[in-house]
Chains A and B, each alone.
Chain A
């Protein structure tokens, strides 16, 4: 599969090269001009050395005339020496100014002059269907004075990465652009996504799999999401934003409200109600055995494990709304654990 992906990416590159090479007979600034203006803003980043089997290179882009560079926060930056190579081949040793581990964004600084940066104030936003260009050094194919590679696509979706249920294994939460350009490739993370006029939209994300479908996700972190962090790091403010703790201190147990589910015996056990504790809130509300638990508050619970994951975030003092399916009908109940049963 991965091989196929690689082939496809290469094909895209070849195709793009073809498009760039053979300019259509149309007047005015075109894709090739936009690309030509954008490529100098993209840099190649190398960690000296490299762990076995891991790529020790990634992409980044310039955001100030003084040589500030935005890139993805990754193990490549763990090296004592980080090298940055511009599109014209100039090479610099970069200093890691700081990083925001939650957003996975880092800011580097090189002592370079006459660089062409993106202006973050002129960054843009995009909606599904908009044409985009992705600039990166995917697979590390560009070296020395070779400019970054360009891929073309559209915004597929603007959506939230729901890390909470473990669908995506990343600390990042918040809105991202999902593109139909296959940007999920080694070395591409940290590159830039622009609109068709070359206006910056965001930073290409890391290689990430969607755990619910086991498919690779091609996502970009929007400028608006990173802006504050970038400015703080540039200004020398220490960013030590911790991962917000989403877990409840005293998580609710279903037994607290009187619900007993069928035992979790097989992979993906459907969350059927097995029994109701007499005199419990569930019994009073009228939930019955064989009801299929479908939603806890607004979250769909597809199986037993989803239920467990959802409950971890609910305090036992909170009210919960439970939607069950009985036959072909939905029924919603509001339940609250009785105070005397709650032991902090």
Chain B
């Protein structure tokens, strides 16, 4: 029976009921709704399957939600099932599907949609007794999905033959950068992967733990049952299905550019750098171009650009209108899925801080700059034909030039102008034996600034924290930050401040020490507190974004990794003593817009040695510069000498 017939019938029945029964119209409405909801569950239920994963690694996400049994939606009568990638984060050994009616079968992972956190499974129906084809649900046309409309979420995670039901409305469309429909039905691991259905029994979309800021498959799960949940429109999925069935993984489309500035809602979309061998490079986009239109839509800020680009897949065409000087130029390109792995090119000098020009503070031994005989005090005016006055511009120019390619510099030394040609190298991983103290620039200013030991607290968090600002802090010199994440139970403040005090003064650093809620244990979600504390510090002090280092020992080290990987826009280095990568963290490819340098220890301890090897490989595979320090026997924090070495590493992170 078609559902609207049923609904119509319900309407008639309840209207009849109204005439003779004492229950009023509103009760009739409630019954009508119940009937309609049951009709929807009955109509779509046969397309909703249960998914079990066997032998998955335990992945405890922020908020502590772990995948148990999950749900999937039939999208091909020959055995294709789409589901959320939520239960696949732990890389299960085997996937089982329980079809409506109870028949069980192994399922094969055919492909993934990394852009929308979905997985396509296939069940071999020839091996399932008594089932020759599956029932495919009908998609709701996007134009009919409107805020306020009924939204019924179905899952199949509880024992029993009926799907579990949660009822709400469509809260919004085009959410999560244009990729999802939002609902207030209760969305949780009980129905991730299942369908969100309208009152006619048409599938609006497939439920997935998305979030606008998430970068992993499970991060959005912290919002479970909160009145905010997301579904990827089934229309979009159906459009991409032929490709996915061929086993092709879907990736978000990228152009290969970085944008200037950090405030995506306020700043115009001005291209910072264009990476070589990318669609943007091939199409002739250049640093300094302002994107004012994309695919016919006006772009006033970076967020608007992101809204248009984010839902696009690799292979999708885009048409840009850019402003270059006084000209307006049309540029067309086809988006790429994966860029060539990014490796930051290196020139080989440390810049002076807080200056108007790009002046070399020291030259890195054996670097391209050293080989070209650059000297401390040289002013670098141009890289290639690009004028550079600060570190950001220099980095953009280096990225655009590319690794292992020659480039000509324009350098001023006293009265002389030099134009050495050199070939850019990879970032170094060895630590400089000596880093000269950074020269103080100008007069001491900022008398009313608080220095020394500070207590820090954020209203919504139970955690506490403190900071040490060196007595020689001056606001005209941006300071780096050492975020010290203590080992569980080790919260002796005196020792920590004594350890870092002299280093902070010598190397323009501020020590920031968040404390765990429970002294003996860090919880993964406490990285949010660490981030907020860093932002609090930023409000009062001038920070050097190139030298913000998450540093931790043991359990605090795992937190340092989490902080560095989950807040890449805020952290430029991670330095970890005796800790592994927590299960919650994955190492994404190095990103020119959010670069990270890694410093880690190894020791003779068998476990630590094995772990160190794995970690080093994990980061190096994604092209991060990894500095490995041998602690010998291990089982301890750093000696004074090793600490000095770490301090030099931090002090040289603004290398160019």
Contacts and interface: CB of A to CB of B under 8 A. Distances in A.
Interface residues of A, number: 56
A153 to B, nearest CB: 7
A215 B224 contact: yes
B38 A127 contact: yes
A96 to B, nearest CB: 33
Contacts of A29: 22-24, 26-27
Interface string A180-204: 1010000000000000110000000
A8 B226 contact: yes
A328 B108 contact: yes
Contacts of B225: 5, 8, 182, 215-216
Interface in A151-168: 153-160, 162, 167
Interface in A253-298: 266-271, 292, 294
Contact of B165 (A3, A162, A180, A271): A180
A266 B26 CA distance: 56
A268 B56 contact: yes
B166 interface: yes
A330 B104 contact: yes
A132 to B, nearest CB: 10
Given A4-B223, A292-B93, A27 B165 contact: no
Given A26-B26, A180-B186, A214 B66 contact: yes
A31 interface: yes
Given A178-B158, A300-B52, A328 B167 contact: no
A344 interface: no
B30 interface: yes
B162 A158 contact: yes
Nearest to B86: A213
B191 to A, nearest CB: 9
Given A128-B38, A128-B41, A156-B166, A269 B55 contact: yes
A213 B65 contact: yes
A302 B66 contact: no
Contacts of A153: 167
Contacts of A4: 223, 226
B227 A213 contact: no
A339 interface: no
A289 B63 CA distance: 39
A130 B30 CA distance: 9
A325 B160 contact: no
B33 interface: yes
A215 B124 contact: no
Interface in B274-317: none
B418 interface: no
Contacts of B573: none
A302 B26 contact: no
A332 to B, nearest CB: 11
B207 to A, nearest CB: 13
A157 B162 contact: yes
Contacts of A24: 26
Nearest to B67: A213
Interface in A292-344: 292, 294, 300-303, 325, 328-330
A128 B40 CA distance: 11
B9 interface: no
B64 interface: yes
B182 interface: no
A285 to B, nearest CB: 20
A29 B27 CA distance: 7
Contact of B54 (A27, A294, A330): A294
A27 B96 contact: no
B54 A270 contact: yes
A48 to B, nearest CB: 29
B423 interface: no
A127 B42 CA distance: 12
A157 to B, nearest CB: 4
Contacts of B185: 180
A166 B591 CA distance: 43
Contacts of A301: 54
A11 interface: yes
Contacts of A178: 158, 164
B371 interface: no
Interface in A129-186: 129-131, 153-160, 162, 167, 178, 180, 182
Contacts of B37: 129, 154
A24 to B, nearest CB: 7
Interface string B90-110: 100110100000001110100
B190 interface: yes
Nearest to A2: B63
Nearest to B160: A159
Nearest to A1: B63
B66 A28 contact: no
B227 A158 contact: no
A300 B224 CA distance: 26
Contact of A270 (B23, B29, B93, B525): B93
Contacts of A156: 158, 164-166, 186, 190
A129 B43 CA distance: 13
A242 interface: no
B159 interface: yes
Interface string B263-282: 00000000000000000000
A300 B27 contact: no
Contacts of A269: 55
A50 B162 CA distance: 42
A157 B127 CA distance: 30
A74 interface: no
A250 interface: no
Interface string A118-133: 0000000001111100
Given A8-B225, A157-B160, 8 more contacts: A24-B26, A28-B22, A28-B26, A129-B34, A180-B186, A197-B23, A215-B225, A268-B58
5 contacts: A154-B167, A157-B158, A157-B164, A158-B160, A330-B127
Closest 3 A-B residue pairs measured CB to CB?
Answer: A28-B24, A270-B55, A212-B68
Interface of B: 22-27, 29-31, 33-34, 37-38, 40-41, 52-58, 60, 63-69, 90, 93-94, 96, 104-106, 108, 124, 127, 158-160, 162-168, 185-186, 188-190, 222-227, 460, 525
